[in-house]
Structure 1
């Protein structure tokens, strides 16, 4: 099975680990006294979203079944409505692009990769979206995956009703949780991207905003806010293009890392990467192997200057 950490972190963020030491981590608190961040004061536009990818960790009820990592990607299509892709639990599992609005599909077992046979079902015919720029539906849809006679993933407001009807309530449901979300956006230097996430199971949902702005003096700055309260503010980005800081959300540590080197210095420009990752314990240290083996939830924002 592929490790959780290898799926959570894009290569640009993994490379960042070798450039930032634990001793460089700074600590801040997101409290009511923090500076409020608004679109008018720090960023003037919202970036166009290319894709959302959510990775889920499923723990089957059967003791003989291994945990699974399953990925759903919602992306814009050059023509027609947004599309959905699904990737199975191994690094070699190819993504299956679900071009129809409704259907079923199956993936055969792979004994070498310890991958069980998977069947999945989806229906996007009545899907509703929060905005025309978002490829991820908010209601009117379902995606359900089944492995070894267990529901290992059920996403969407219509998923429970589908499972009840399809299997007549006679199928067990594994425990599954989102462990990472990667948002790929097209952004200008004065843009703000917002996502709603939970950093731990049962924790409150938070609105996380990532923005890049040009100051009145012509410099650039990066900021990250949680629920409208500024948590990270990095200035003079052409010098501070890589860095990390630890903030506290719900009393627990969340590591914030950024890497804008290829955004500024590569021709053609690469992507800017900002990651927020919940740490599993207050006393744990960033990038230790045991921390990477069981990471907390991670939000990764990858911004590019021009669409592919």
Structure 2
């Protein structure tokens, strides 16, 4: 069942969601797929956040690891970040092994293994099967992603490193897309708001009015085909939030459309964030220093850029 609460204004800390890094929230997603429609956006990048399953050398808490899939002329490109402050390592080959340092350490603390040669994709840049990415620190597997990861660990290390009991669970996801129609955007993802919970289809749409402004402008978010959030006149209500209930648990939906309506390409974008939370959490947004102690909940951030008149991406490259 899905229900909604009344509209509120977002606190100022959410107004820069376009550049945010979601911190310390835990759950999982299934492979995403963009549903086909006349205004289906083109995905620029998909960043998936994971919590390491074991401590890295010299660290007192589990590291946050990131895999980013980006579009290139040669197809999807994978990069890996071992922490929020470490630069991304671009894995240019389809298969390989590489040592990685964390936070500028003199000696590498991680060895990563990956194989995308048989990876299979749907509409997303992230493969849904036929691949693995594994990060090892000493005698521990700290990250195991892909349907072939457990098999690789067993064959490669022959029992010297325990076989991964399960794939590493992502705790957040951020996607950047370009809408082919600057007056409208619609994208859909399959997500799981809680580990072990059912999959749900989340659709996000934004219409900018038809020719001459005849069509009504609105933002909407649907869960499993049911309209959960509908913000009319978004040029006035360009920042806001609502709380919906999915599987009996609260999910906060927050949006910032100021850039979409009032900034020119390549800087204008619409940002929509869904964040699952415990019923014990009273605030929709936690300040950065308090996030680490928050009750965990899954986060999905979608950032949509307008396409230029020439059809090229208007999104700034990074």
| Both structures adopt the same fold (TM-score exceeding 0.5) | yes
Paired with 2:56 and 2:125, the residues of 1 have a C-alpha distance of 35
- What's the C-alpha RMSD, in Å, of the aligned pairs? 3.0
CA shift for structure 1 position 287: 2.3
1:140/1:59 Cα in 2 relative to 1: closer, same or farther (>3 Å)? Answer: closer
| Partner residue in 2 for 1:279 | 277
> Match of 2:128, SS?
strand
Task: Give the counterpart of 2:90 among 87, 94, 97.
Answer: 97
Pairwise CA distance, 1:57: 1.2
The residue aligned with 1:233 is: 230
In structure 1, C-alpha distance between the alignment counterparts of 2:171 and 2:220, rounded to whole Å? 23
1:65-105 residue CA offsets vs partner (Å, 9 max, x unmatched): 5301000011110x21211010012x320001111000011
Instruction: Give TM-score scaled by structure 1 length.
Output: 0.79
Task: Name the SS of the counterpart of 1:138 in structure 2.
Answer: coil
SS in 2 for 1:76: strand
Aligned mate of 2:268, from 267, 270, 275: 270
Contact 1:150 1:174 in 2 (8 A): no
Please give the alpha-carbon distance, in whole angstroms, between the structure 1 residues aligned to 2:42 and 2:243: 28
Give the corresponding residue for 2:291: 292
Report the equivalent of 1:261: 258
In the alignment, the residues of structure 1 paired with residue 60 and residue 139 of structure 2 have an alpha-carbon distance, to the nearest angstrom, of: 11
Q: How do residues 24-173 of structure 1 correspond to structure 2 at under 5 angstroms?
A: 44-60=38-54, 66-77=61-72, 79-89=73-83, 91-110=84-103, 117-131=109-123, 134-172=124-162, 173=164
Query: Conserved in 2, the CA contact under 8 Å of 1:59 and 1:66?
Result: no
| Secondary structure of 1:203 counterpart | coil
TM-score using structure 2 length: 0.77
Change (3 A) 1:58 1:11: farther
2:4 — aligned with what?
A: none
Compared with structure 1, are the counterparts of its residues 87 and 263 closer, same or farther at alpha carbon in structure 2 (3 Å cutoff)? same
SS of the counterpart of 2:151? helix
Q: Displacement of 1:48 after TM fit?
A: 0.6
Q: Is the 8 A contact 2:94 2:117 kept in 1?
A: yes
Confirm or deny: 8 A CA contact 1:127 1:137 kept in the other structure: yes
* Alpha-carbon distance between aligned partners in 1 of 2:88 and 2:262, rounded to the nearest angstrom: 32
What is the SS of the residue equivalent to 1:304?
Answer: strand
Distance in 2 (CA, whole Å) between partners of 1:47 and 1:143 is 27
- Given candidates 215, 221, 229, the residue that maps to 1:224 is 221
* Secondary structure at the counterpart of residue 163 of structure 1: helix
Match of 1:28 in 2: none
Consecutive unaligned residues in structure 2, runs of 5 or more: 1-12, 21-34, 308-312
Q: What displacement does 1:291 show?
A: 6.2
SS at match of 2:161: coil
Structure with greater proportional strand content = 1
Distance in 2 between residues matched to 1:122 and 1:104, nearest whole Å = 7
